[in-house]
């Protein structure tokens, strides 16, 4: 459905990201694993575009106690961004396009010797109907948050920042194990499978070694911090499907 000027672009990106749900073996087609921490595996590809390091990043994870909608809600919801995002300085919502779509401006903490980066992007949370089912597991629900760079007339960029371009998706699927005793579904029955992809173009020069070490350090940290945040935030709340 078209509700705003970016609807077509958003629907196109969602379609492309959902292709990841075929759970094609991440170890295949060129992905190199850079970290493994329990259920979380982080992969990258080495990609240089116009002399800039644009390594695509992909992480797969599986966490208990939360639903796909809860994970995507807290990833999308602007009001809680500061609770879990620690590499961002300025964060503003420039425009709210509908109840699940905003246009955000943010600056990232500078990483010496590179110039500080900022991002201007659309962020939308969408429920995926009839997702491609994977193997024998049938997901209870599938949600996606898509963050991708757009222009906006009201962006008032922080001077000195280099504009980074992002293409990010968080795809979450809830799997429920019904309790043996036929009782109500509790958080212990939940398993949320996550696929996170991030394509960040730094927008200007940054030393390859610095960028690659940031990515290797920051993405696993962010995924652990964010998933722990959602488990804590939801532990005493009603399950949100």
Ligand X SMILES: CCCCCc1ccc(-c2ccc(S(=O)(=O)CCO)cc2)cc1[C@H]1C[C@H]1c1ccccn1
Note the residues at the interface with ligand X (CB under 6 A).
85, 87-88, 108, 111, 114, 117, 119, 147, 164, 166, 168, 198, 200, 202, 206, 211, 214-215, 218-219, 222
Closest CA to 194 of 173, 177, 222, 175: 173
- CB nearer ligand X, residue 225 or residue 235: 225
Q: Which residue has the tokens 């958080």?
A: 187
**Least Å from the CB of residue 189 to ligand X:** 28
- CB nearer ligand X, residue 191 or residue 199: 199
Q: Is 109 helix (H, G, I), strand (E, B) or coil?
A: coil
Give me the DSSP letters along 216-237: HHHHHHHHHHHHHHHHHHHTTS
- CB nearer ligand X, residue 114 or residue 185: 114
**Least Å from the CB of residue 126 to ligand X:** 15
**Least Å from the CB of residue 8 to ligand X:** 21
What are the structure tokens assigned to 199, written together? 């394509």
- CB nearer ligand X, residue 20 or residue 239: 20
Render the burial of 139-149: b for 16+ CB within 10 Å, e for the rest: bbbbbbbbbbb
Q: Give yes or no for a cis peptide into 113 (omega within 30° of 0).
A: yes
**Least Å from the CB of residue 132 to ligand X:** 23
């Amino acid at each position: 459905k078209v509700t705003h000027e970016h609807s077509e672009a958003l629907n196109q990106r969602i379609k492309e990201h959902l292709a990841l749900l075929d759970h094609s073996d991440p170890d295949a087609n060129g992905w190199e694993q850079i970290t493994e921490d329990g259920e979380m595996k982080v992969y990258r590809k080495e990609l240089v575009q116009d002399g800039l390091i644009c390594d695509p990043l992909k992480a797969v994870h599986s966490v208990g106690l939360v639903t796909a909608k809860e994970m995507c809600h807290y990833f999308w919801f602007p009001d809680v961004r500061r609770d879990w995002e620690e590499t961002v300085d300025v964060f503003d919502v420039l425009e709210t396009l509908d109840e699940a779509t905003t246009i955000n401006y943010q600056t990232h903490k500078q990483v010496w010797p590179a110039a500080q980066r900022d991002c201007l992007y659309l962020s939308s949370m969408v429920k995926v109907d009839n997702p491609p089912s994977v193997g024998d597991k049938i997901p209870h629900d599938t949600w996606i948050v898509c963050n991708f760079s757009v222009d906006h007339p009201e962006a008032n960029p922080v001077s000195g920042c280099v504009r980074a371009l992002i293409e990010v998706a968080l795809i979450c699927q809830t799997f429920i194990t019904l309790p043996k005793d036929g009782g109500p579904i509790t958080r212990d029955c939940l398993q949320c499978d996550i696929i996170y992809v991030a394509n960040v173009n730094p927008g200007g020069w940054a030393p390859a070694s610095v960028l690659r070490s940031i990515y290797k350090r920051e993405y696993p940290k962010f995924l652990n911090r964010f998933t722990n945040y959602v488990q804590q935030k939801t532990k005493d709340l009603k399950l949100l499907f």
